[in-house]
Structure 1
């Protein structure tokens, strides 16, 4: 069962949300839910990429400069 969450938005942002929701015949909740879903997907991708970069660095040979 979905949980309700109360958020506070600046008036200008709420106007934009209402405009887009009306233009797309969607509810505020639907629009905000999609925006949050996209944010979370992007966050997970970035975390995965960062984890992969750290894992790659851990298995590669360390850089040792040579004195010439």
Structure 2
């Protein structure tokens, strides 16, 4: 599980302007892109309320919906 701060430190380590809303926006955008290949993108990037985000990659090709 990665907190917003963990993600901020990894992606924008020297930034003084990046904040938690930036992480939330990018997670939203990632989920939009994942929706193309996965029926339920929220099951790939799982929000652990009060803790952060957990990545649950598809375990087999049948979970992908590539046309």
Bin of the TM-score, shorter chain as denominator length: 0.3 to 0.5
Q: Which of the pair is proportionally richer in strand?
A: 2
Normalised TM-score (structure 2): 0.39
Q: Which of these two proteins has the greater Rg computed from alpha carbons?
A: 1
Q: Which of the pair is proportionally richer in helix?
A: 1
